[in-house]
């Protein structure tokens, strides 16, 4: 995906953009404004929303409320509150380019909004595709600091993202207007010019099909939620004048004077989450906007918890190891932070369980390649949490760009908050993490962290970094470490995982299967496979390929009647789905192209795996048994 990012400076005082203070009278949302002549007008009040349907007061574009979004009618007035990863309004799922309601030669987008959480890509209202060369449509939205207007026209091959000059304040109401007259784009904030661009010209250019949504940044391969509120949205098939924009703002300008709804004091950027669970310890981590003056984790076997582990030197990224715990025991915990002014913030009460003993039953979930799809990641995480696993294995590509902090906080930890707050996640590093310091900052793992091992129940897990330039040959550090660690292991079950597959019947990652032969997997991991077979590893998990695949037990490059290694690819956490080669590989037993996760149960000599799709439907299962 490419971006035509154009940061427009505030254009106050520009010719022809002087706002007139004309009061229309009456509250916003009373009905279609005849002066603006919208082709669609959505008002989020008791009259505009019935059940999960949002009426279009100017036309026929009825919308559907998504997720847990809800209408609130208390002060300062009616609005749609958006707080969850699935919240928003879907007006049309697939809008064709020739739809009669789409503005053609000019357009205006007008809205009253409140942004509670900045985002790398935020959407108020849009109908667009922004995928490489296929950049088309329109968007009124926001970036981490400013509001923006995205547009593609006949006069340009790429979209322009016009960013305003006003830095918005989280939790405050703003009036936005994006206007295009066929020659120039103009962005207004609170009735005043905030940016202009002449990079687009001619009629509006649309994609063959695109979703029309409110409260989300969504196209075919991206779907990011807005956290905040929307009061009303108007879509006009013509360019509004500066005077019309100012008058619409002036009718409800008192909203812009209201204080922020964000309370002062410490605040979580990343809610508390769990790392590195053992039989007698648990690591608790979290991140706040600023370093608190004091921080502690309260914990115990009853609630309110009676014990407390204080942080000696509080930092924005907090980390506490709770030690001397009882094995296989349920604990309550909460993180408490205090700022310099003495304002206290209590995290929500959460639970965890320490690791069980070798004779106990236990379970874990496997997911991979969450990347940049918080809506799908949230669905999959919710389904994993419903299984109540003891912990989660993540097989890499936890984000799409390891250097982008917003992806860690918004695309990974926010949609996985409930899951990661109650069960520890044990990741391996993928290629999209780019070996960035963020990976090592957000995860607390045994040194050197890019490879490590841990014991859980009657199994031992061995985690590897298969990314270039790590040396995976017999001369490499990880190969020697794994050979020794597997040889020394006395665990009944041996499980290995890393990002890249030993075996894969993917269509094009290791050669174009439609035009010629393929490698059938990542050649760099083949040396490691020799160790798996040498030391009788039971299961190897990987991601990287965005689908599900399970092999037959394999040994020596062929299906084994007994004693083979089962390889499972689970890359269905959110990344764009891939496909299989047109002809089956010798090792392929089961496959599915869908977002998904795996659920593994272990007790004694019995290990079972079930694979569920993003709707919670079981589509594969197998069992391994040992005497």
CA 331 to CA 277: how far, in whole Å?
12
CA 541 to CA 535: how far, in whole Å?
16
pLDDT tens sequence across 443-468 = 999 999 999 999 999 999 999 999 99
3-state secondary structure of 68: coil
Phi/psi of residue 314, nearest 5 degrees: -60, 140
Q: Is the dihedral of CA 542, 546, 551, 557 positive or negative?
A: negative
Residue 70 has pLDDT above 50, yes or no: yes
List Cα–Cα distances, 406 to 224, 287, 400, in angstroms. Answer: 12, 13, 11
| Residue 535: count of CB within 10 angstroms of its CB | 18
Q: Which helix (H) or strand (E) holds 513?
A: none
Which residue's structure tokens are 């959110």? 574
Structure tokens at 601: 């149960």
pLDDT tens sequence across 566-624 = 999 999 999 999 999 999 999 999 999 999 999 999 999 999 999 999 999 999 999 99
CA 100 to CA 510: how far, in whole Å?
45
What mean pLDDT comes out for the span 151-164?
96
- CATH 2.60.120.200 segments of the chain: 5-12+37-257
Residue 157: the pLDDT is: 87
- CATH 3.60.21.10 segments of the chain: 362-625
Q: Which helix (H) or strand (E) holds 121?
A: none
Structure tokens at 32: 């279609």
How many residues are recorded in the chain? Answer: 627
Cite the DSSP H helix spans in 135-284: 242-250
User: What architecture is domain 268-353?
Assistant: Sandwich (2.60)
Phi/psi of residue 378, nearest 5 degrees: -65, -40
CA 59 to CA 117: how far, in whole Å?
31
Residue 31 has pLDDT above 90, yes or no: no
CA 451 to CA 240: how far, in whole Å?
59
- CATH 2.60.40.10 segments of the chain: 268-353
Strand spans (E) along 347-475: 350-353, 362-367, 391-394, 424-427, 452-456, 459-463
Q: pLDDT over 90 for what percent of the chain?
A: 91
CA 439 to CA 399: how far, in whole Å?
10
8 A C-beta contact, residue 502 and residue 472: no
List Cα–Cα distances, 286 to 84, 296, 308, 323, 415, in angstroms. Answer: 19, 11, 16, 18, 15
8 A C-beta contact, residue 195 and residue 170: no
Which CATH fold would you assign to the domain 362-625? Purple Acid Phosphatase; chain A, domain 2 (3.60.21)
pLDDT tens sequence across 511-566 = 999 999 999 999 999 999 999 999 999 999 999 999 999 999 999 999 998 899 99
8 A C-beta contact, residue 236 and residue 201: no
CATH 2.40.50.140 fits 5-12+37-257, yes or no: no
Residue 22 has pLDDT above 90, yes or no: no
Q: Is the pTM of this model over 0.85?
A: yes
């Amino acid at each position: 995906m490419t971006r035509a990012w154009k940061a427009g400076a505030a254009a106050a005082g520009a010719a022809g953009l002087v706002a007139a203070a004309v009061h229309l009278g009456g509250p916003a949302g009373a009905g279609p404004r005849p002066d603006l002549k919208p082709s669609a007008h959505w008002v989020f009040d008791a009259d505009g929303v019935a059940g999960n349907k949002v009426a279009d007061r100017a036309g026929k574009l009825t919308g559907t409320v998504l997720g847990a979004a809800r209408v609130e009618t208390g002060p300062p007035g009616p609005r749609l509150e958006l707080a969850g990863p699935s919240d928003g309004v879907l007006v049309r799922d697939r809008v064709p380019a020739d739809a009669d309601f789409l503005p053609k030669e000019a357009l205006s987008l007008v809205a009253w909004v409140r942004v509670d959480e900045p985002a790398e890509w935020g959407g108020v209202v849009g109908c667009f595709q922004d995928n490489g060369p296929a950049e088309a449509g329109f968007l009124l939205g926001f970036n981490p600091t400013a509001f923006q207007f995205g547009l593609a026209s006949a006069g340009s091959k790429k979209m322009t993202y016009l960013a305003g000059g006003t830095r918005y304040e989280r939790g405050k109401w703003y009036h936005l207007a994006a206007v295009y007259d066929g020659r120039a784009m103009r962005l207004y904030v609170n009735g005043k010019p905030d940016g202009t661009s002449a990079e687009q010209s001619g009629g509006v250019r649309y994609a063959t099909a695109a979703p029309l949504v409110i409260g989300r940044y969504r196209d075919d391969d991206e779907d990011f939620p807005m956290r905040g509120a929307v009061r009303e949205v108007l879509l006009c098939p013509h360019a509004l004048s500066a005077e019309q924009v100012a008058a619409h703002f002036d009718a409800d300008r008192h909203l812009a004077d209201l204080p922020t709804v964000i309370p002062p004091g410490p605040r979580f950027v990343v809610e508390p989450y769990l790392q590195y669970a053992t039989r007698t310890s648990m690591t608790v981590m979290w991140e706040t906007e600023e370093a608190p003056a004091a921080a502690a984790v309260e914990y115990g076997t009853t609630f309110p918890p009676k014990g407390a582990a204080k942080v000696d030197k509080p930092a924005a990224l907090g980390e506490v190891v709770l030690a001397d715990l009882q094995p296989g025991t349920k604990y309550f915990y909460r993180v408490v932070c205090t700022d310099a002014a003495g304002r206290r913030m209590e995290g929500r009460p959460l639970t965890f369980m320490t690791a069980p003993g070798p004779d106990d039953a236990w379970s874990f979930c496997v997911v991979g390649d969450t990347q940049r799809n918080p809506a799908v990641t949230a669905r999959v995480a919710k389904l994993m949490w419903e299984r109540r696993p003891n912990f989660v294995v993540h097989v890499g590509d936890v984000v799409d760009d390891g250097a982008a902090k917003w992806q860690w906080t918004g695309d990974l930890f926010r949609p996985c908050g409930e899951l990661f707050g109650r069960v520890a996640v044990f990741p391996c590093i993928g290629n999209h993490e780019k070996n960035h310091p963020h990976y090592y900052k957000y995860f607390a793992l045994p040194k050197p962290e890019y490879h490590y091992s841990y014991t859980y129940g009657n199994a031992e897990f061995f985690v590897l970094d298969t990314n270039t330039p790590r040396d995976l040959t017999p001369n490499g550090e990880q190969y020697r470490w794994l050979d020794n660690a597997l040889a020394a292991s006395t665990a009944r079950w041996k499980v290995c995982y890393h990002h890249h597959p030993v075996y894969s019947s993917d269509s094009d990652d290791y050669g174009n299967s439609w035009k010629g032969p393929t490698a059938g997997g990542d050649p760099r991991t083949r040396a490691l496979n020799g160790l798996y077979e040498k030391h009788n590893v039971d299961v190897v998990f990987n991601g990287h390929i965005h689908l599900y695949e399970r092999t037959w037990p394999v040994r020596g490059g062929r299906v084994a009647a007994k004693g083979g290694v089962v390889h499972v690819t689970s890359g269905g956490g959110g990344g764009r789905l891939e496909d299989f080669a047109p002809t089956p590989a010798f090792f392929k037993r089961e496959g599915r192209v869908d977002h998904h996760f795996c659920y593994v149960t272990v007790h004694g000599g019995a290990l079972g795996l079930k694979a569920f799709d993003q709707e919670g439907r079981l589509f594969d299962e197998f069992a391994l048994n040992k005497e």
